[in-house]
Amino acid sequence: MDQQTLIYIVVGASFALYLGIAIYCKAGSTREFYVASKGVHPVANGMATAADWMSAASFISMAGLIAFLGYGGSVFLMGWTGGFVLLAMLLAPYLRKFGKFTVPEFLGDRYYSNTARVIGVICLILASLTYVIGQMTGTGVAFSRFLEVSYEMGLSIGMLIVFFYAVMGGMKGITYTQIAQYCVMITAYTVPAVFISLQMTGWALPQIGLGSTLTEQGTFVLDRLDQVLNELGFAEYVAVNEHNRVNMFFYTLSLMIGTAGLPHVIIRFFTVPTVKAARSSAGWALVFIAILYTTAPTVGAMARLNLMETFGTTEATEMVYEERPQWVKNWEQTGLIEFTDKDNDGTITYSSNEEENEVTELNRDIIVLANPEIAMLPDWVIAIVAAGGIASALSTAAGLLLAISSAVSHDLLKGVFKPDISEKSELMAGRISMAASIAVAGYLGFNPPGFAAGTVALAFGLAAASLFPALMFGIFYKKMNKEGAIAGMLAGLTVNLLYVFQHKGIMFVASTSFLGDLDPNWFFGISPNAFGAVGAIVNFIVAMAVCKMTPEPPANIQHIVDDVRVPVGSSLASGGH
């Protein structure tokens, strides 16, 4: 059986599984549509949360970023993983105890204001739509390569699949589909890593293989990679840029608090039956996430080494174009690898010298997807990776679209404009808003705006600058009032957007150049993608200042905040001292 037929079979089987789950788990009530009736087992929810959170950015892009940025790429590992720890420890259990369906609903009730709820909806939609662009792009890239269709056709197929299981099943269908997608995704990520680690170092565990020696040369993997990069004029893989640590710190912080403020991840903790289950669910999610995130550095380093040795080493600094490997030909067809033979000698030179470098396009997003082909692994491994790449984009896209849909139907329609709407009508409105969200996301996938198409880091910055401080104040500071929270959210969001749009012409550079020279126009050397942390600081300061100048929240609201934080059964909860 040829490779393409095998890919069609594996990917087709995964689609059949997702659609079958959607039919079986059709939502019949708003409670099932929004929070899966709050009946998901903690282990199952942990797996679904991991799939929801590990987007195409994690599965497809992160190893590519680590591969090409080396030490600097660790900002994504630290930021995204650290952010989930923040979410699990500081937000998830308390938000679950508050007992609401959505983040804007929490904001509206905690700050006793429909205005706060509407601003929460706006912040949620801005962050989620920006994030979903990356998922749609990942869907198009994966489909175009592995199903041999155009980017537009691949994106259309992905939209159709998500439409079917998200509109029909809501949170209930999405949850169990995401469990299946996690299994597909983690298999697709770890199996090639195990093969390649065995092939290069003799160790089956990739995490150990990264720190081991190459079986053929006896040198350590990272030492050999540094050697190859130096020979071709590139920066060392483990090099630390001393002068840009400020930006790296703020980038990491922005990703951390942005992750903790992402609404589509937070709502996953509303689906479990108890607060204890929410804590357990967060722990399991970290376990499932760690499997991929501890493997990513190995995938990035080994894929980069394989890639560099394909294009040039000390033994052969040029690749004969007509003798290029089949995987190169495959990816050339997608436009993600391009060559220009500048000296017309039939060979391809790959170096850091722009005048000599003839690799004119090498998209870092292909690292994970092309890795099995580069290492010449069996066709069935390539087929699994195809299914995993598609699953990673679909799983997070569904979660983001549900967050947007819930914000429109539950928070705006029922919460603000039509409080007396029937459950049946609200469920229909939820499905209609989900369909509309998919249409808008698809349009943005076909026509990505320049300010956001380069990176999903902007979405994390928006969540960090607007939602995270309001959630923290809402849980841990009972005297934060509606005036302070609203002013803080507006200030943080405005500052972040103004800075990003002011520098939108360098967004693509900003996403990859935090190891390079600082742009003189950046505020204290902080790139637009890292500015969410500054926006959050502005949010905290403005909210506190306005809070001090305006009346305290009502006593019943302060009592609710105390009640949310105090564990059930404690002496304080029972009136003791």
Residue 97 CB-density burial (10 A; 0-12 exposed, 13-18 middle, 19+ buried): middle
3 state SS of 125: helix
526, β-bridge pairs: 523
Query: What is the identity of the amino acid at 534?
Result: V
In a domain, residue 243? The reply is: yes
Does residue 494 belong to any structural domain of this protein? no
The verdict on residue 338 lying in a domain is no
User: 489 lies in a domain?
Assistant: no
* Residue 260 belongs to a domain: yes
d(Cα 296, Cα 63) in Å, to the nearest integer? 5
Instruction: Give me 76's structure tokens.
Output: 């994504």
pLDDT in tens, 492-509: 999 988 887 776 544 433
The percent of residues in the chain predicted with pLDDT above 90, rounded, is 11
Out of 170-174, 449-453, 572-576, pick the least confident. 572-576
Any idea what the CATH number is for the domain that residue 101 is in? Answer: 1.10.4160
Read off the tokens for 497: 């957007």
Number of separate domains in the chain: 1
- Tell me the C-alpha distance between 12 and 287, whole Å: 29
Q: Give per-residue pLDDT as tens, 471-486.
A: 999 999 999 999 999 9
pLDDT tens, residue by residue, 21-30? 877 777 667 7
Residues of the chain with pLDDT > 70, as a percent, come to 88
pLDDT (mean) for 27-54:
78
Please report whether residue 496 resides in a domain.
Answer: no
Write down the pLDDT at residue 36. 66
pLDDT at residue 487 is higher than 90? yes
Query: CA torsion sign, 472 to 476 to 482 to 483?
Result: negative
pLDDT of 310 over the 50 cut: yes
- Report the run of H or E that residue 146 belongs to, with start and end: helix 114-146
Domain around 104: 3-303+378-445
- 446 close to 152: Cβ distance less than 8 angstroms: yes
267 neighbors 99 (Cβ within 8 angstroms): no
Three-state SS at 318: strand
Burial of 17 (C-beta count, 10 Å sphere; 0-12/13-18/19+) = middle
Q: Is the pLDDT of residue 315 over 80?
A: no
In which band, very low, low, confident or very high, does the pLDDT at 537 lie, cut at 50, 70 and 90?
Answer: very high
Alpha helices in 296-378 (DSSP H): 296-311, 326-332, 366-374
| Cα 33 from Cα 18, distance rounded (Å) | 17
In a domain, 527, yes or no: no
Q: Is the pLDDT at 553 greater than 50, yes or no?
A: yes
The tens digit of pLDDT for each residue in 418-441 reads 888 887 887 788 788 878 888 887
Phi-psi region of 352 (alpha: psi -120 to 50; beta: other; left: phi over 0): alpha
Angle between helices 296-311 and 221-231 (to 10 degrees): 40
Does residue 263 surpass a pLDDT of 60?
Answer: yes
Residue 79 CA to residue 353 CA, distance in Å, equals: 32
Residue 268 lies in a domain: yes
Tokens 């699949």, residue located? 161
User: Taking residues 538-558, what's their average pLDDT?
Assistant: 93
Kindly compute the dihedral angle of the four CA atoms of residues 559, 563, 566, 572, in this order, to the nearest 10 degrees. 60
> What is the predicted pLDDT for the residue at 569?
45
53 and 221 in contact (C-beta within 8 Å)?
no
